[in-house]
Each structure stands twice: as C-alpha cells, then as structure tokens.
Structure 1
Amino acid sequence: MASADIFTIENDIKFNLHRTANSGVFERVHKKYAIKSNLKDVYKTVLEHSPCLLKCIDEGIVNASDQILKKNKVTEINVNIDQISGIITIRNNGKGIPHKVHKDGSKFLDRKIRTPELIFTNFRCGSNLDDDESGKGRDTGGCNGIGIKLAVIHSDWFRLETVSKKDVYKQKFEMNLSKMELDIEPPTIEPYEDESYTQIEFLPHYKRFGYSNPPSKNDMIDLIDILRYRVYHLAIFLHNKKVVVTFNGEEFKTEGVKSLIDSIEPDGPETYPIIKTKSDSKEYIDYAIKVRTGKFITTSIVNGVVVSDGTHITHLTRAINIKLKELQKDKDKDKKLDCKNYLCVVATGNILIKNWGNQSKDKLEMRETDFKDFTFKDSVITKISKEIMEKSKVVDLKKAIKPKVDKKAIYDKYTAAKKLKGDTTLFIAEGDSAMLLLKRILAKGGSKYTSDNTGIFSLGGVPSNIAKGITEDVDEEGDTVELASEKFYESKVFGALVQCLKIDPTKTYKTKEELKSLSYNKIVICVDADLDGIGNICSLVLQVFYRLWPNIFKHGILNIWNSPILRVTNNSGKVLKEFKFEQEFKKWQPKMPKDAKIAYIKGLAGHDDKYIKSMSERFDSDLVKIKSGKDTKSQFEVYFGKDSSSRKEVLATPVVDFSVEEIYQMNNEQYLLCDRHLDKNTKEFQIYAMQRTLPGLDNLTPVRRKCFTSFYKHNQTSPMKVFQAGGRVAFEYLYHHGDASIQGAIIKMTHKFPGSNMIPLLIGDGQLGSRNRKGKDAGEARYVGASLNKKIAEAMFRKDDFPILLKSFSDGIEVEPKYYIPTLPLPILEFQKSVSYAWSLNVYPRDIKAVCDVLKKLCKDEEITEKDKNLPLSKEHFKGKLKFKTVEEVEKVYMKGKYEQLKEGKTDVFHITELPLTVTPKAVELALIADEDIVSDIFNHTTDEVSIKVELKPGAIDKIPKKYGSIDKFLRLECYMKEHINFINEHGIIEQFDTAYKVLKRCFDLNKNKYKLKIDRELLLLIYKIVLEQNVIKFIECDEIEKIKKKEDAEINKILDEDKFDRINSTILNTESKYTTDELIEKLELNKKFDYLMSIRVSDVTKQELDKRNKHLEEMLKRQKQLEEQLKEKPFAGSKQYMDDIDNAYNIVHAFNTANKGNKKISFEIDSTKADCDLLSFKIDSTKANCNSLSFENYSIKADCDSLSFENDSTKADCDLLSSGKSLW
C-alpha cells in the first residue's frame, strides 16, 4: 500500500519515469500513424515510434492552446523541431506566468519557490487541479496537474522562458536519471520591454525512447511529419480565434473541420455542410461528415486535445441510427443499418469536461446526458440517413452483382482462345473489320500469338464513357474506390467483356493470386491508328480498367498495339520501310527513293493480306505497355469526368507532340505512361472533335471547308446532285467520316430560311429543307442539288487569297486550306449554335452594314468608340421584336415572336406568326399539342414563314396564366439571347471571345496581314516576270536567234551569259500557285536556266508579237508601281483595296438579300406603340416594286417621320434599308 504521507517530488518523478499510465509506452512500437507530409493530404503509414515521446510533445502544445481558452490574448503559436538536434520549441505570445514567490507551494515544499518552477516541476499542481466549484467541469485540455511535467522529466534538459509585468523569467531543469531527481537551476529575472510570451524548449531523452541521439535522418523525417499533423490539428481547432499557427515556419491556414476531413479523405465524396451545435453555456461542437462505405473513421479536437472517439461522436451516430430505423420501417424492416459503416466524422469543440478519465486523453468519456443540449436539425439528420441508405444499395450491388449478358450476345463479339491455360492474351478489337485482320494474323503464324492462346473481343465501335455512371466508395482499408452501376455489367459491350475476362466485381486484384483467376493474363487493345481509335476508343477502354480495377492496370497487363500507319513500297510492291509515327517518316523522307510509293493506313482494315505475315512476325515488338503515372487519375477526370471546367481549360491549349525520347521509349523499351497517352492522343482527339463541331474564324468546320473548296475550285455554278458532290469531296479532299456527314454539310450550306444562313455559300436546287423542321425535312441527297453561290463566294473568299493561305494535308496529300480569311467577319454575321467537349457556341448575327462601317473605320485608323463596338444585331428575316429585361443589374435581351388572338365561332384561337429564330416551329407544335388540358387542335402551315394556329378547349384560356404565367410563355414566344462566343482560332485551338467586336477585330487583323502578304507575293512574282519579259524582248530585238543557231547547249549558254541575259526558273513561275511565298523565294533561285528563251518560236518574233510584249511589259511596270505604292499606304499596306473589297462584299450580300425578299410584306417593330405617319408616299416604277405592303411600328408614341417618301429609278427600288427612331438593330 502506498504511504499516506504526501508524495515527494522524488516519489512522483520515480513513479512517472517507470509507469506508463500517464505518458504511454516508452519504447518504440509499430503502429499506423497519420502523417502530413505536405500542405494538402494526410496519409496513414506504419511507423515505429515512442508513444511517450509524442505525448510529452503533445502536452506542450495543449499548454499553449489552453492559454487561448483561458482568454489570454494570444495571436501566435509557433512550434519548431530542430531537424538536426531534435530540440523542440513551443512559443505563444500570450500573457506570461506570474513569477512571484508562491506562498502555499513554498510552505508545502519547505523552501522558497516561484510559481513557474512550481508549475513545471511539481506533479499534481496547477490551476487545472483545483476543484471545480460549479460542478460543470472545465473547458481546457489540462486536467490532472501532470501534463507538462512529463515533458520535463523525460528530457535531457528543459528550458522555460516567460514574460510577466515587464520582467522575463528564465529557468533550466536537467534530469539526473542516476539519482531520479531534477537538477533545478536558479531562475534569472531581468527587465523586458517587448510583448509578453511564454516559450518552452527541451531536448527529449531520445536514447531512452529507443532512438539514436540525435535521431537518424529517417526517424527525424517521420517525427516532423507526425508533429506537422499535430500542429495542423491545433490550427484546425483555433481557426476562428484569429491565431496564427506555424510549424517550422510553415503557416497553416484552414477552414476548420472541413479542411481536416478533406485532408483525411481528399478523394472522397463531397463534405456535408458543417453541422454546428451549441449549448446554453456557449459550449460548441462542429461536425464535418462524409458519407461513403467502408471502415468508420473519426477524429476530434476537443479543448485543444486530439481524441480518437468519445461520447460526443456516439451522440451524433445514435441520432442518425434512430433516423435510419425510422426511415427503414416501411421499406426494408429486416435490413439493419449502422451508420458507422458509412461515415467519416471529424469534430472540433470546446466543452465543459469534469474528468478526462486518464492522462492519455485519447477518448472523451462522458455521460450522454451531458450532451442533451447539443441538438441536431432533423432535416440534416434525415438527409444524411437517406444518403446512407443509398450507399447501402451500392454495397448490396457490389455483393450481389453478377454478369447478365447472355452467351449469344457474348459470342457475337468474342472468339475465345482454345486453351485458357498458361500465358494467354485477349485482343480487344475496335470493330468487326479489325477483328478479321487479327484473326488472319493469328492464322498466318509467325508469332507467339496463336488461336490456341489468344482470344479476340470486338467492341463494335465507340464504347460508352463509364465515368458518368461511376459511384465512389471506400474499401475496408479506407481507400477510395470506384464502382460501376448494374447497367454496366448488363451492357452488351462491357458486360460481355467482363464475362470474357471472368472479372469478379467483388475482387480488387491486388494480389497475383487474384490476378490468376482472370481467363487472360495479357490484354492488347487493337484500334485504328487515327484519332478516333487511339485517342478516344482506346482511352475509353483504358479508363474502364483504371477506374474499376486499378490493380489490373498496375500489374502491367494492358498493352496497345502500335500498328504501322505509313508503309513505303517500291514499284514491285516490296516494303522498303514502315513507320508508326509521322515524325520518324519525315526524318527519313529525304532518303526515300524517287520511285517509292507511300501508303497511309490509319484504319486496321486498310492492311492488305500480303502484309499480314510480316505484321504477325513483328506483332510482339509493336506492343506498348501502358503504365500508370502520378497524374493518371486526374487526367482521366479531366478528359472524361463529370466536371467539365478543367477539360475546358485544358482543351484551350495546344497539344504537345511525342518527343524523340518518348518515341524511342515506345519503339525500344515498349512502354508509355498513361498520363502522356491521354495528354497527347486523347487531347488531340478531343480538340479535333471540337474542330469538327465548332467553326473557325472563316465560319467553316473542316467538312464545310472541304465542301466549299470543292465547289469553289470546280466553279460549280450549275446544280450538282448532293450525293455526287459529296462523293467528289470525299475523293478529292480525303474525308474519312462517311457520306452522310458530307451530304448533311452541303445541304445545310444551302439553307437560307430565317434562322439559318444569312450569307449562304451554296445555292440549293430542289427541296432542301424549311424553317418548320430547321432543315430536317430536306429531300434525299440523290434527289436534291447544290451549286456555288458564286458572287458571294468570290466576294468573301477572293481567288487571289489562295496562294497565301496555309495548306493542310491528309495522308501526306495537300487538301483544302487550313482556314480561309473572309473579307467580312462571317462568324458574327451568322446564327451559331453548337456544343463540343465542355465548350458551347451561341452567337446571333450582327447588322452587316454596321460591321462594314467599323471595318472601314479600322482601315482608316479612326477611333473606335464604345458605340461602334456595341455592334447592333441584325433583324434580317425576323418580324418579331427585342425585349429588354434588367435582372440583378444586368441587361438581358430576349427575342420575342408574335401572335394574334382570334375568335373563330366560340373557339379561342392563337395564330403564331413569328417565333424566335432559334426556336423550331415543329418543336413548338409538338410541345403545345402535348398539353391536352388546354389545346384542342393545332394547324401548322409553316414553311419559311411561321404560321401556327392553336385552337383551345372551351374555358382553357383562363388556365394559361396560372399554369404558364403568360400567353408568351405558353406559346414559346420568348428566347433569352445569351451568347457564348467561342471559335476555333487560326492556330486550331478553341478561343473564347468576350464580345462580337473582338471577333471582328481578330478577323480584321488577319485580313490586314493577308493584304500585306498578297502584295509581297504578287510583287515578288511580278519582278521575276518583268525581268523575264525584258529578256525576251531583248532577245527578239537583238536577233539573238541567229547567234545561237546550230550551236551546242554549252556554247549557247556561254553566248547568252556573255550577252547579259538572265537565267530564270520559268517552270516555277508557270506553276507558282503550287507553292507558298517562302517556297517561291527558295525555288526561284534554284535550277535557273535559259529554257524560256530557247522555247521562243519563229511566230513569237513578229512585230505584232513584239508590240504585244512591249505593251504587256508596260502594264506590268505600271502594276509594279501600284503595288509599291500600296506597300506604302497608311495605316497598312493594301488598306484602300481592303476597303474596296468590303464595299463590294456588302453590296453583293445586300443585292442577294434584296433579290430573295421578293414581293413580301415588310414590317418594322421595336416596341408596342405604333407610329403616327401623317404622310407616307412612294415613287416606284410600276414595273418593278419590291414592296406590296409596308407598315411601321416604332418605340416613340409619335415617330419623327411626319413625311416619308421613297424615290427610285425605273429599274430598282431603293427602299431596302429603312430606320426610324432609336433601335439596337
């Protein structure tokens, strides 16, 4: 039995040095520690450390935290550990400890002792040890009067500094283990003028704890990571106290419990809004919760102390379990759910605690009735409970799911290996034609892959993106995993693939034993080498394995067949060289024999049988193993995930091609990081897919650009059947995406009904669609035709532009230009609406005259005002009006249609005469007829003019305001004109433009550069042609023919050189359109000869011919002078010509629109108040009037035009443009 006498200091020291009850185990033990090695995430790992050491340090941190809870004014807490010596320093800038002599302590110890020494060296003394007279408990971390003394006795030395009343108190304690007592140095007290602080500094007994002294480098790294996490907890706890918390100089800025739970599970589900609870005594507990499946995870910081569990957590989980039971009683009575199987809970709180129970304080043990005042909102607990019930379904699915694809569906896509033993391989083919090639490769022999050990599975095209149906889960070890839905396993493609591989959805395939249960131990993805295949289909398959079975991915059994895309043969068909990358071919191309033939084989079906044997022999060396990289997960999320914001950002940057090192790595080391595959191949595909969908600054997509080029180059001014024109485009311009795409593009390019093309480049022949179905009612491609809208085409895309346009190539052959540079900015003169890979396009056409006026001001370098930049919208084709609404101080513009309210007998009828140009009349008809409560019948007679009659049921008109809010909304008459101005720029990358003016300005800049390039090129060629003509005239006039008659070539060349004739490469001059300007400069200086003189005939030397040549020379010299003057023009070369071209383009479009108006009713309306026109007169020749009826409606109550007249000549009415009053149009 212990003595009844009061314990001496020696008794307490000896007790705490040899007992672990208060401090924990002295020796290092293996256990799982949570560490924080960076600013973001928390990791768990097994380490070997001393719990006692960590507890001693923790007590110092709790002491610093208590200073804040005791209402001391603390604004900084700094914790440091010296990375070499292991010395620990903890400092706070709060009120110091009074250093007066402690009367009771001095009497008790029978010696003079000051308060700081008493607190730090005597067990079971301190303010936290006093009885709590209120009986409610304390809200601090200290409790037993032991804490910091543990750090003192378990250190080689311990130094204290504290400032109180302008004095700094310093004292050092050293532990004498042989005597089991402390050596206490006398304190020093000195004057101190700066702010108060308390600092402790100590060197733990590292050797006694099982470390070297100082600790090894690896042990020190571990200790730093563990302490960083502990100090991070402190910052979490104090996040709303305005206290700066640092560790080794690193400041922690947190959002409280949300930051902690997001650090513990950074990849887990979204954190619930923080649950805040308070009691009447201002105690509080904040809970952060994530719902997922797996092991229950909880940690808390209560009164600055980190605890693993406690009654405060039970209080929450009991409330959730009660709600779960209540929700389940009507659904699944037999299923018992425990919320702890689905939760990660983090809490912080400051509460009154009567007794921590023990010094370790690892669990908060209190009566649950102590938490009766901490209540939860029923709506929050219900929401959490319902999500737990949903998560339980995922668990049930994971346990119960079985592949459900029938054998017939499987074997329609699958040819199994004959022997599924030993080394087996599954080829995953893109489609059936690829599957056929692979079967022939296996049959041909020559490699280790045979029909005995290799199976083939056909995807049948593009598989689905499983990322959209993924559910996140947490496995038993706390790792985040992803689960597919039941539909995935039932799908004909992936469900069948899972069965072919014998994948068990409940297995993780972490071990090699689990991996052996698969029917194949190697997978080879065999897709076309084009962007659709390698960039999209291949990536979608890789994603399945990476997301659902990442360990299969990590085991390295996934490969891609890198088939040759270029084959070079000689005249006899012998293969000279094959290439898997175009970069390799371009490097070798200078060595290529002149008679060599190049074949591009992007599709696997394009490989002929005669090459199969060599492909089979080389098959294994053409495989590339796909390895997981550090960014693989984030890259899959970027390119295929639900959040499109990061994808949008990435696709706005250029693709980085494979480097020489990466190509070497694939060819020789046969591996590629999945990160780079996605960042190159998938990104390239998605950018290409955007380019196919979103127009460039010439307002053309690739397929439209090919179609237009074909019609333009062939001067196709007479109608040609669309299916024939499409075939010509596919053949000449190497279009690889099918006839339907080309034919659809040609038909759309002919549309000129309201809401389609404002400036159509092609003219339709036949019924190519109407406004009623937005062109979907067009005739078959074999029946309808199209021709070039020549005047518009030549005005927008001048023929003399072609030589300076950048060329694009397909399969090594030059095709259409990469992009055109139209005279006017077509992208903002047309309706645009499209979506592609997170980028949307929605643009409304601007008024063409206003656009031309701004362009001409730019040509003259005049100031562009804000009014100029606010380009008005075009009202061409539209009979409705604009409606302005201000929402949250933002002015929004709506396009509004028109209707008439009629009474036909007793029936209420609405006659819709105009709809917003982006709304499809047929869609409105179908939407209205679906409302059987209100609509009796509909008569839709819309072609290009809207005419929809809506008959209502008796009394139904009164239901409309209540059901729809207004008649306008019921009839779908209003459309918000929100714009997303995103185009493919001249570099082939998507670009976001803030305003239509910025598009105009970019198009202007491109034209400005274009005119300079055109002048430079024409001048370059003209100078050579002038020199050539001068030489020919001189040759004729000097009768040079007589000198060279009957002479050898060498002698002729000598004579012409002596007579100062110029050698000229006339071949290049005659074929100059084939070459870029840079190529011309180079080639014109090569192979210069006198061929152009030697080819002169006798008929060329007559006087008439000589006169013609002299005249032609004069014209060329005159043109040279004009071009040189144009180069000097201000503000830029060719500015006057560009202004002329702008006027020409405008006049041609204007004439086209006027001609297409025909004898139609023209009306103008801006708001509902009609204009008063006292006098309206017209003078128009009776033989050609374009207007049978003219009406005006204007914003003002009385228009400014009391007298309005039109005068016109006998051939053409001049009333095409009429404006009155203020209008945005």
Structure 2
Amino acid sequence: MRRVFWEFVCSASVHVVYSSVRLIAYSKKGLFEKLQSPTLYQTPECLQYEKKSPIEHILLRPDTYVGSTIPAKNTDVWVISDDGLRAIQMSLTYSPALLKIFDEILVNAADNKQRDKQMNEIKVDVDQENCVIAVYNNGRGLPIEVHPTEGIYIPTLIFGNLFTSSNYDDRVVKVVGGRNGYGAKLCNIFSKEFTVETFSKESSRTFRQVWTNNMRESNEPTVKGEAVSADGTRITFRPDMEKFGTTTLDDDVCKMFRKRTYDIAGTLPGVTVYYNSEQVNISSFYDYINLYSDEDTSNRVLYVNASRRWQWAVKRSQNGFQQISFVNNIVTTGGGTHVDHITNQLVNIIRPLVEKSLKSNVKKIVVKNNLCVFVNALIENPAFSSQTKTVLTTTASDFGSKCICDVTTVQTWAIESGLVEELIADSIAREGRPTRKVKPKVADDLSNIVKLEDANWAGDVVLSQDCRLLITEGDSAKAFAIAGLEVVGRDRYGVFPIMGKPANVSRLSMEKVTSSSEINSLLRILGLTFGVDYSLSENRMKLRYGGIIILTDQDEDGSHIKGLIINLLHNFWPQLLRIGFVWSFVTPLLKARLGSKTLSFYSTAQYNKWKENTDNADKFVVKYYKGLGTSTPREAREYFSKLDEHLVQFRHENDDDDLKIRLAFDKNRADDRKQWIKDRLTAGILVDDTPASNSTFKNFVDNELFRYSWLDLRRSIPSVVDGLKPSQRKVIHTLLRQNSNKEIKVNQLAAAVALDQAYHHGEAALLTTIVRLAQDFVGMNNVCLLEPLGQFGTRHEGGNDAASSRYIFTKLSPFTRLVFPSADDHILKYLEEENQIIEPEWYCPIIPMVLVNGAEGIATGWYTRVLSHNIREVIDNVRRLIDGNEVENMVPCFSDFSGSVRKIVENRYEIRGKFKLLPSRRKNSPFLSLEITELPVGEWTNRYKENVLQALLSKGVIKYYSIRQGA
C-alpha cells in the first residue's frame, strides 16, 4: 500500500477540483516487526533464480536437446509412399522432439555397424495402439560387465546415466553419430518406460534392465548366464506422450518413423532393415536416391560413389536449391558444411559453361538454385550446430577425407541434362532488355532507408514507369518477396516492408502525417510530392516507380493494411487510383492436400463453401497460411513464376469507388459504417474471394474490408452471453478441455492455445489475454477465471508491470467450473476450423458474467463498455428472475474499491476517489497537507503521478509530493 502526501497553498477551489481523486489506504500495524524479518528484503527478482537437476532441465528446456515438443502443424516433409517405391512430399503434423528421441535409438543401432562389421540386421517395430517402440540390431552389444570405477554394469552406466559415452576421446577417430553423452539417455528421459536388453554370444550372458518415470527410477538389472545363439541389443521404450502434446502415436509421426528406416537402409550398406517385420527394399545410396526420381525421365540424375566415405548425386531442381543429406547415418535436414563442400564444387564447375555462352557474369546463387543435391558422408568426430544435429558445422579440413568432383563428369551431365541450356534461357528472360545506366531524376539519397531493396531501374528517365514497388507486411513478407525476385529479377521490382498497420490518415492532421517516418520513407521511395496532380503524364514521369504492389498476408488484417495504403493515396493523390497505380499480390490463405492433390483457397468463405460440397473434405490435410512467412521460398518462387495469376489490379470505375473508400475510413462516418455492416449482414452477403485479374475499389471495400470489419466486431466486442471475446474463450476452453488442476506457465499455455484452438494472431496479444484473465487488482476482474500464480501486475501500471510470461504460472480458478458447469459441455455448439474442433460459439454461464467482470471493446463502427457489478447482487437478481420477480437496480461495483460510484443519468456513472485533509505538521503553516487514499477506477497510480502530480508540481500549485511504500 502507499501513502501520498500533498502540501499546497490553501485554496477552496482545490477541494472541488480534486474531490474525485482515488485514495490509497495505509496501515502501520506490524510494520516494525516486519522490518526485523530478513525476508522483507527479498526482491521478486531474487526468487526468479532456481537450480534444477539435469533431468529436470532437459524436461523443462527440451528445445536445447531434442527440439520442440510442440507438434509442428502441417509441415511439408518427405515420406515414403505406401508401396515403398517413391519418396513423396506430404503435409504432416508431428512433434520434432518425438522424432528425435526415436532417431537417437535408431542411429545408435546404425553406429554399431562401425564397431561390428559382422552386423547385418536392424529391426524396428512400432506398436501404435500401445505407444511402444522397439529397435533391435544383431551386432555385438555392450560388455555385460561391472565398470571398474563406477561399480555398476556398463549398460546401466551408458543407458541410465547422463554424460556417459565411448566417444569423448577426440584423439580416437570415429565415424559414428553419437558424440556428447546424451543420445539414448534423452529417449529414456522422455519415456514412461525404457528397457534395455543385450545378448552376448561370446560370454553366454544376457542383460535386461527397465527404467521408469523419465529415467528417475529403475529396477535392478537382470543378468543371466545362459547360452545365446547370436549377439544383439534391443531397446524398447514407451514415450511419455503428454510431453509431446499428444496421447497417441498417430499416423503422421509413424510415417516419419518409417521414412527414417528407409534413410538408414540407404546410408548403411550391408545391413538389412525391417519396419514392422516388412523388409525395406533399399540396399544402397543409389537405390535410395531413385526414390526421389522424377516422373520426368529427362531429368537425369548424376550419381557418384566417390569412396567408402562419400557418395553424392545431383539432379535439376525446379523449386530452388534442395538438399537431402546424411552424416554418419544422421539426417541433416539443415544441410551443413558437407553439403556446401559438394555444392560449391558443382556450382564452380557449371557456372563457367553458362557464362561462356552468355558472355556475361552469372551469380553463383542462380546456378545453385537449379540444383537438388544428395550427400551421404562419413565424417570423423562430427560437430553439429546443436544436440538436435540438423546442421553439420565441422570444417572441411577436419572431415578426415576429401571428395573431389570430377570436372568432366559434372560438365557432361550439366550439358546433357539440359541444365546449362535452361540457365542460359532463364538469364536471357530475366534480362528482358539491355541494362542501361540509371539516371535518377530526383536528387534524393535513399541510402538511409535501410530496409529498402530498390529496383535497379527505379528513377530511370525512361524505365522507371515499368517499375513496381512491392510494399510488404513486415520483414517475413519481405523475405517472401526477396525469394520471388530470384525469378523475376531486381531490375523492375523493389521491396519495402512496413511495420504493423499504417495510420489512418483520414483521422490525422497534416502535421502528424508528415511527421511519420514510415510514411515519409514510402513517399521518398515512390517520389511522391504533396499537392502534385499525377493525372498529368509529365508529373507521373517524375515518379521513381510506375505503380505499387501491396503484398500482405491473405487474412483479414492483411486486407485492412491494404485498405489503409489505398486510403493514404486516395487522401492526397486520388488521381493515382484512377490510372491503375495500385496492384495487390494474392496468395492462398489455406491449402488442402490429399496425396499428390493440392487445392488452394483464397478466403475462409471460399474454403467453407468447398468443404460443404465435398464429401471427403475431412480426409484432406489443411494448412492455414497465417502469414507470408508460412510460405516456403519454393512456394514464393512458384507464385512469382506465375506472376500474372497472382496479381490483381485495382480499377477506379466511378464516384462509387471514392464514396466507398471514404465510408471505410472517414472518422465522421462511424454511424454509416454501422449501417453498412448491418445491411450486408441482413442481406447475407459473405464474400467468396476467388482471385480475378482486376477489382474495383468499391468491390474491395464491400468484400475484403467488410470481411475485416465483421471479423473485427467478432473478436473485439465481447459476447453478451458469456462476456468473453474469442481469444479469451479459446484460453478457457483449452484449460477446461485439459481438465487438470496443474499449474502451467503462461507462455506454455499460450502455445497450447495456439495449437489446439486454431489461433492465428500474434503471440504477444494472446499472452496479454491470459494475463488479463488472471489480474485481480482493483479495476480488473471482480472474480478471476484464472488464478494469478506470480507477479501478474499491479494498479501502479494498470497491469503492464506483469512479469515475463516465462516466469509466471496460472491455472483454472475453482470458480470457473462452477460458472461453466461440465454438464453443459456436450450441448454447446463448437466451432470448427481447418478440420479441427475448437472452442464453442459461446459458453452459457449460470450467471451473467458480462455483468460480474464487465466488458469493453472497440471495433469497426461500434464501441461497448459494461461496468463490473457485485457478484452477490447479480446472483440475487438471477434468482428473482427465476422466481418471476422484478429485478432490482444495481450500481457498478469494483472489488476492494473504497471510493464511490454515483449514477448521474441513465447509463452514466461518476466514479470518485477519496482523500482526506491531514493536520499541518507546523503551527500556523500556510500549507495544507492532503492524503489521497483512493483513485478512480482505471486511473493507474504511476500515470496519475506523471500526468497530474508532476503537472501541478511544475506549475507551482503544489510544493511537493511523496509516495511512501507500506506493508
């Protein structure tokens, strides 16, 4: 608590002006006793530091060791077709960490081939129903002996104790996958049960030991002296599925398991591999590469078995640079130095052939982007970028061997495969017309606009009218555009990212518009000048670009950004809209895949219409492209290679276009926007955005901007039924569905909501939503639906001083299940998105929660605010309604608020704080002391201090003020 003192010159008017100041209570009781306590001086920061055991650390921070435990949704990956004859790309949802622990055991089995050349068999069995996985190899196992210094059996030491390995001595050259002493232990730690069995023909002994509870517990090993017919080791484990965000071994992750057995079969010659008792019909890296052969037989593959340690292959790629690579049987999905070692040689051999024909330089990246490279390497004591081992970082000098690509062989392949001819044709097509020296018309140095990627011809006297500026929504969309420039080149196309949503200039003074650094940068890049009429061709010739292409996310917020940019031009240069200056780049919002069939949808409405009319829609895997960052570079190049199909030119048809733009953005037309939304909803008009080559501005407002406005209303205005916004409802639904009373970190809860509830907006907004649901200080929730377990903010900063989401925990309040009874769960109407059942349309609380905690929201055309009320009064009125009686009037009420609330007129209330006069500390003092003990609800302490007290102090109205911290 705190105490604020004022001493100011006595004035009667002061009592009137500040009679609504909110007051803060203070008590001295127990103060001196508390000062004696050493815990008084423990700051909140000191409680943030914790010590964890190695196992706890691995479980708490899995990303460092095994990758993300959160399932990666709709990820494009290579899998093996059902008949085992081809590698195909599919969109799957799986946990990278679950795949990694499986891989640790599989690579362990493969490593045994380097130790025992007689080993010739690996068997993988996956029991989906019981979530049990077993990996067996028939090589010589670990010695069944007691370690001389550790005093435990060697298998116990290796599989049940962290930081144990036979690979620590870097003086010993080894070409195995294990290195850091984690390996199989990570699988043990992420398993509910982990069993090791090893058999020794030489010593006639068998060993078996079982670990449980994430390697924390184990039974005594069972060692038997009995004759065995063959050596071998079998690892059987039951993953702790809850730690991977799922409860079953579903088909998607099993497809990944099967793919890895094919990888092992292709990279481990001399070993027969089985998956669920079925033999993998791959016996060499050459066989493995043929899985990726194109239906186009003209795309010939060059395969080179350079040595026992190096096999590589290359073919042409139509989708940018691709690589499929392995180091010591580990799949390196991110490539690394071994891939660079081969690829760089290929590029340096092929590039001169192209340059000789063109008689001009060709960039290395142009050649590289037309290659698909396969590499299988054995590297001595390999080093990786992380424990997940997806990228090799060992320098070429430390490989332990070299692989030199034969120049004649590569050149012959490059010519005969048609690659050289294709590169020459692409270079000529990109060139378009002879390059000429650019002559800037405006002496404006744009070097300080660091995020601009300027077109080569921008500002040229003749060529600038052919240039287009891609205005992108943020840096991720810029990266998408840059990938696309590899196809269309940089002569005609520039890229400039804008951060967030630009301002609605219709609501700003000219001074504020010109003071916006981002708007100024955009105008300088385009060469626009205020007051110039660009309907005149001589003025248009002075522009640095002949048009803009707006490249935003395909969702509703992307449409809003598009509209705000159009509004900027319409406000100051409406002539540009009449001459076709504005284009939009459209990309799919959703893709539905079934096998090799892919369907693209450009709006939710278009997708929903297809789903309603398609019997097997539920069999398709749907991927939601929230942002352009979701698209791969390959997809970006694919879109830009068909540019005309993805460009929509905005057309100005008549005055209706101008009227619609003003309707959408004029600050004085809120009531018109309300009526516009009502009329379109009444008429049942919901858009179906199949891309067209052009669109009027009127259509854009009535379709795309209407869809944004309708979404804005649904997500910003709480439901009168349960008092919740959709994001809040998603949080509550996630916790209710988990049906757990366990504490969960706020950032982990946000991740769970995003995964389970098809949440497509920013993580920061979701974190704020969760924190707000648990804040219990005055002015926030009267009754919290979530419990605040940590520092969730205070009245000092209006809750903005909450600790980082990494440090604070929450869980459902016991009250939540009382007000949303489980008996209702099966009769609620649940929403569906991307073939996924998500939160209900609304909950049906047993009391009107919108009155208990209040509600507030602002959206297109509408604003709502409902004040909080006393929960007991709300309950009493509900009972009166049930009994058929009249309800009693209620005055807004805020828990622990000691000020006053008074009704002024209908639907208007005055909320006052409190203060009291204090006796002067000096006799006959001309000053008066005032103690503020309560502030009005929503007037946060620090803001009040800065905006009111500091202003009074600077004007000399008060002499000083002080804030005293209490208990």
TM-score (norm 2): 0.49
Q: Which has the higher contact order (CA 8 A, sep 6+)?
A: 2
TM-score (norm 1): 0.39
